[in-house]
């Protein structure tokens, strides 16, 4: 290992002898640091909109001190900031639900085509607001799995493809057999992601361009939720991206999860 954290204890053994006990606490320390970082990040992310909100509240408290025309801007900004806090809390709860091992204990038959049709309706609505063309190509394949987790993974990937896309861009969502596995894929014509960021995308609160992405409404939690959701199905998120061209995010469910006619 690169570094090691050792906890050393000295214990009396006999009148003139001591016992030296060394314990490798590297993993415990790492987990503790992760927890501390997480708490610091959550506090920071919640504090930022709260500070803006409080600033505007102070301003509108005394209408005589509020410049004309500022009231509407202030109310709009307060709505935007409280919406941001709500989204962050919703995503934190979703992440915590996905991390809980007992989440939806049993695999059930998930009617993925029906689920994807619902997601298509949502995506078309979201895409319309940004003039993004949304294409879905859904094969009639059902799977065994956890519906909540699959919905969450698919929804987050589709939302990102729309959120980071240019106006007038395209997204293509497919659900199809690839060899013996079922593949879910979302391809977009957005800005793409530089290769040095790819390994860190699923870290909690990791954003490629923090300021710009916050403006777009991201929290930095979406892909960590996807990662957790996919762990319930023993599969991993894959990504391919080219700067200026777009990105493709996909995952393949193990063959055993497909519902075959025989089993169904």
The residues that touch ligand ADP, with contacts defined as CB under 6 A, are: 156, 160-161, 164, 188, 190-191, 193, 201, 206-209, 213, 218-224, 247
Half-sphere exposure for 2 (CA within 13 Å, toward CB): 1
Tell the smallest beta-carbon distance from residue 70 to ligand ADP (Å). Answer: 30
To the nearest whole angstrom, how small is the minimum distance from the Cβ of residue 205 to ligand ADP? 8
Nearer residue to ligand ADP within complex by CB, 145 or 220: 220
Q: Please state the closest distance from residue 166 (CB atom) to ligand ADP, in A.
A: 10
Q: Give the shortest CB-75-to-ligand ADP separation in angstroms.
A: 25
Angle between helical axes of 70-99 and 222-231 (0-180°, round to 10): 20
Residues 6+ apart with CB under 8 A from 244: 191, 192
Nearer to ligand ADP, 109 or 194 (CB): 194
Name 91's Cβ contacts closer than 8 Å, sequence gap at least 6. 219, 221, 222, 225
Instruction: Pick the closer one to ligand ADP by CB: 131 or 180.
Output: 131
Instruction: Write down the least CB distance from residue 7 to ligand ADP, Å.
Output: 35
Q: What's the token pair of residue 258?
A: 């497909």
The residue among 201 and 253 lying less far from ligand ADP, judged by its C-beta, is: 201
Q: Which is nearer to ligand ADP, 213 or 240 (by Cβ)?
A: 213
Cβ 32 to ligand ADP shortest distance, Å:
23
Which of 49/191 has CB closer to ligand ADP? 191
Cα separation, 235 vs 229, whole angstroms: 9
| Residue number with CB closer to ligand ADP (81 or 258) | 81
**Cβ 222 to ligand ADP shortest distance, Å:** 2
């Amino acid at each position: 290992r690169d570094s090691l954290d050792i906890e050393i204890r000295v214990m009396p053994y006999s009148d003139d002898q001591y016992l030296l006990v060394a314990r490798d606490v590297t993993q415990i320390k790492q987990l503790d640091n992760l927890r501390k970082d997480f708490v610091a990040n959550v506090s920071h992310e919640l504090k930022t909109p709260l500070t803006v909100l409080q600033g505007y509240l102070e301003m509108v408290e005394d209408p005589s001190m509020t410049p004309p025309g500022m009231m509407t801007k202030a109310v709009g900004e307060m709505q935007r900031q409280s919406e941001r806090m709500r989204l962050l809390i919703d995503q934190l709860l979703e992440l915590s639900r996905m991390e809980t091992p007992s989440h939806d204990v049993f695999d059930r038959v998930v009617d993925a085509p029906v689920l994807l049709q619902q997601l298509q309706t949502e995506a078309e609505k979201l895409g319309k607001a940004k003039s993004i063309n949304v294409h879905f190509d859904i094969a009639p394949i059902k799977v065994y799995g956890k519906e909540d987790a699959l919905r969450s993974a698919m929804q987050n990937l589709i939302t990102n493809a729309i959120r980071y896309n240019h106006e007038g861009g395209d997204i293509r969502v497919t659900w199809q057999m690839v060899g013996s596995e079922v593949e879910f894929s979302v391809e977009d014509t957005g800005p793409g992601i530089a290769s040095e960021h790819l390994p860190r995308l699923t870290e909690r609160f990791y954003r490629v361009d923090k300021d710009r992405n916050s403006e777009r409404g991201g929290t930095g939690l979406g892909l960590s939720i996807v990662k957790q959701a996919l762990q319930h199905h023993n599969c991993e998120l894959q990504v391919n991206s080219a700067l200026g061209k777009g990105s493709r995010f996909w995952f393949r469910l193990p063959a055993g999860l497909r519902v075959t006619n025989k089993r169904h």
